[in-house]
Amino acid sequence: MLSDENYVLEESRKTVFSKSEDLKPIKSGQIRQNIIWKYVLHLLLFHVGFVFACSVYAFGLSAVRIKWLTVLWVPMYYFIGELGVAAGAHRLWSHRAYKANLGLRIALMLMYAAAGLYCIFHWVKDHRIHHKYSETDADPHNAKRGFFFSHIGWLMVERHPEYLRRQKELDLSDIIADPVVMFNRKYENELYIMFCFVIPTAVPVIFWGETLLHAILTQCFIRYVLILNAIWSVNSFAHLWGHRPYNRVINPAENSIVSLVACGEGSHNYHHTFPWDYKASEWPYMRFNVTTLCIDAFSKMMWAYDLREASPAFVQKVMEEIGDKYNESSLIHQDGYNPIDT
């Protein structure tokens, strides 16, 4: 813990007081990232389907009424996928913020598949590069290239040469050694089809007799597009808008709306400053941090263990040294109120 804390403070000082020449962004126009049209079409298809599905319900175009259980099933399955991403791919596999037994790792891997993203291995690789080279050309969704690029545009183009160079330097030995992650990589397409589309669509049809049309519209289009945009909002909204009480010079910010839609992942200024903290936020359950609540429950059941946290004294020290002192959170600390003690 101490070595983590010293390392973070040293790295944060570097971010604030110097900028590595090596990582200066290449000016646009110097490189060309070709558009990958099949990805553009894939994303377009689901977003057009989303608009169509919403129109069906907004204008009452369906002759058969949708069942209430089908409506409730949308946020339930959304939450399952979101937890797989936040507690699994993000806090467990990318940051090693806690450890999980085999049963929990399998459950999180399947829940991650429900979100319909690419495999965990590539998610972790992208996320570790994102943290190490934030807002540079090596960052796959560099927010300095604007909202559209950081939200969805980065998924439509070839990777930047700087990303391709830096990815070779990454140490991914820990996730390569995890058979659960490797299984997810090997059966990426099968898991995607089964857990993102077949299961969520089949459940309402089999268990409460919903029509296939309502099951497809609500799960394959509305739920899927909502969860994709919620996950992307961490890279776009939370890198562009919000306050920065922990590190005033980095882009990642505290954004409550992102926390709401992404189950507690919007405390992004804190997370980029203390990335090993399993809470991904200073306060365990504030700002809709349902993910932390679940990890704590897993820990009580002995499925999760070795939960890592930044100590309140260290958080305070970092805030005083590099945080933005003119915001709400800093003022709370200066008054001597420590939410962790309550």
Which is closer to Zn ion, CB of 200 or CB of 252? 252
Given the DSSP bridges, would you call strands 304-305 and 99-100 parallel, antiparallel or unpaired? antiparallel
Residues 144 and 207: beta-carbon distance below 8 Å: no
Which is closer to Zn ion, CB of 81 or CB of 204? 81
| Minimum gap (Å) between residue 134 Cβ and Zn ion | 6
| Minimum gap (Å) between residue 47 Cβ and Zn ion | 23
- The 10 Å Cβ neighbour count of residue 128 is 20
Sign of CA dihedral 262, 181, 40, 126: positive
| Minimum gap (Å) between residue 97 Cβ and Zn ion | 9
- The 10 Å Cβ neighbour count of residue 172 is 13
| Minimum gap (Å) between residue 144 Cβ and Zn ion | 12
Residues within window 63-82 making contact with Zn ion, judged by CB under 5 A? none
Q: Which of 169, 162, 104, 158 is nearest to 138 (CA)?
A: 162
| Minimum gap (Å) between residue 276 Cβ and Zn ion | 10
Which is closer to Zn ion, CB of 140 or CB of 252? 252
Which is closer to Zn ion, CB of 84 or CB of 204? 84
The count of residues interacting with Zn ion (CB under 5 A) is 1
Give residue 305's region: left, alpha or beta (phi > 0; psi -120 to 50).
Answer: beta
Report the alpha-carbon distance of residue 165 to residue 155 in Å, rounded: 18
Residues 107 and 158: beta-carbon distance below 8 Å: no
Please identify the residue of the shown chain whose CB is closest to the bound Zn ion: 252
Apex 126 CA angle, 183 and 14, nearest 5: 140
Which is closer to Zn ion, CB of 204 or CB of 252? 252
- The 10 Å Cβ neighbour count of residue 318 is 22
Which is closer to Zn ion, CB of 5 or CB of 126? 126
Print the binding letters for residues 244-263 with Zn ion: x by CB under 5 A, - otherwise: --------x-----------
| Minimum gap (Å) between residue 275 Cβ and Zn ion | 5
Apex 289 CA angle, 288 and 294, nearest 5: 125
Which is closer to Zn ion, CB of 215 or CB of 253? 253
Residues within window 188-227 making contact with Zn ion, judged by CB under 5 A? none
| Minimum gap (Å) between residue 247 Cβ and Zn ion | 12
Per CB under 5 A, residues contacting Zn ion are 252
